[in-house]
Amino acid sequence: MNKHETGSDTGDIESAFFSDPKIAERLDLLEEIGVISHVNGLVGKIKGYKALLSIGTDMFNCADINDMLELTVRHLSDLFLPSFIAFLWKPVQNCADITIRAYRNYESADLELKLCSIARFEAFFCEFPKPILFHEMEKQLGNDADTALLKEAQPEIVVPIIGPSGLYGIVLIGRRTMGDDYTDQEMAFLQQFMFFVSQAIRTHLHYEHSLRDIKTGLYNHGFFMTRVKEEIARTRRGSCTSSIIMIDVDRFKNFNDTYGHLAGDRVLESLAKVIWQNVRTDDIPSRFGGEEFTVLLPKAEADTACLVAERLRASVSEMQVPWESPLSSITISLGVYSFDHDCDLETNEIIRRADEALYASKARGRNRTTLWEPCLHDGVPGKT
C-alpha cells in the first residue's frame, strides 16, 4: 500500500475522497500544495469527534458513579497511560467534605492525600474552567496549605468539574508511565474528553443531590417513602421479609437549648455518619425530619433488624461530636417493624407501626430498641 492508499479503516469520507478519479489524477499536485495533509487532518479530527461522541454516549448510559469512573479510567489509561487517576468530589452539595476515588493500572487503589476540601480551588477554576498542568496552576495559586497537600499526590494535570453551583470536584491525572510530557494536542483532546466526563458526573451528582438531605447527606424523606413502597411491592411478590428502623435523638430539644442549634446541627451530621457506617450497601438510611431518622433494610428479618438497631444505638452512645467545648453524650431511641409477603398494610401504616415501637422505647426510658408487636396497640411496651 502506497502513501495514498487508504484501507478499510480510514472511513467512508476518506475513501470517497481518494477514490474520485479527478482527485487520483492530481494526487501529486494536491499533496504538494498541502490539500492531502489537510484532508488527512480533517479525517483524523472527524474520527476523534466520533470517538468522543461514542464515549459521551457510554458515559450517560452508565448506571451509577462507579461505572462512570471506571469507564473514564479505562479510556484515559488507554490513551495516555498515566501513573494514576484520582477523582475528588463533594457528595453533599453544601458540605465541604470530599470523597476521593483513585485508580492505578485500571484498578482501584489508595492515594495518600490528606486534602479534606476543594473549596480553596473553586474561585480559580470558575475563572479558568479547563484542564491545566499542575505546575501552571501552582504558579498562579502559590504554595498555600491546600495546594501543598494536592502536590503531595504528584499530579501532572488537574481537571475541574464545574457546574451551575460552582466547583463540584476535580480530577487528578498523574505523569505518563512512559515519562513523556503531555503535548498541546493531547491537552486539547483531554479538554474535549473531560467535557463529557464532567457533564456525566455533574448529572449524576445533581440526581444524587435531589435524593439527599442537604444537612446530613442521608437520603431524604421523599426518596425513602418511594423505596418503602417499592420494597412492600417486592416482598408481596416473593417470600422474603424486610424491615424498617425508626430513630429519634433523645431529649434533642434540651440539647439545642443548652448548647445552641449549631451544636445540634453538628450532632445530626455526626449521627448521619455513624448511621452510614453501620448499615449495608443496599440499605436506605434517611433523615425523616428534624431529629428523626429511618433505615429501610431490604431482605432483613426482625432479629437482624434489631441487631442492626442495637449496633446503631451502641455506636451513637460512644460517638464523639467535634465541637469547641465538650458536649454531653447523645443517645437514641429506636423502633423496628418487619413486614413480609403476607402484609397487607399500606406504606403509612407500616411507618406508623415503626413509629409506635419508637415511642414505646421512649416510654420505657429512652436509649433502647423496641420491636413492634400487636400489644403496642394497648399501650403495653413491646420487646426490647
Active site residues: 291
H/E segment holding residue 295: strand 292-297
**Cα(285)–Cα(269) distance, rounded to whole angstroms?**
13
Q: What are phi and psi of 12, to 5 degrees?
A: -65, -35
Burial of 70 (0-12, 13-18, 19+ CB in 10 A): middle
Instruction: Kindly give the interhelix angle for 65-80 and 184-211, rounded to the nearest 10 degrees.
Output: 170
Work out the number of other CB atoms within 10 angstroms of the CB of residue 56.
17
DSSP annotation string for 86-142: EEEE-SSTT----EEEEEETTEEE---------GGGHHHHHHS-S-EEHHHHHHHH-
**Cα(333)–Cα(364) distance, rounded to whole angstroms?**
10
**Cα(276)–Cα(267) distance, rounded to whole angstroms?**
14
**Cα(102)–Cα(298) distance, rounded to whole angstroms?**
30
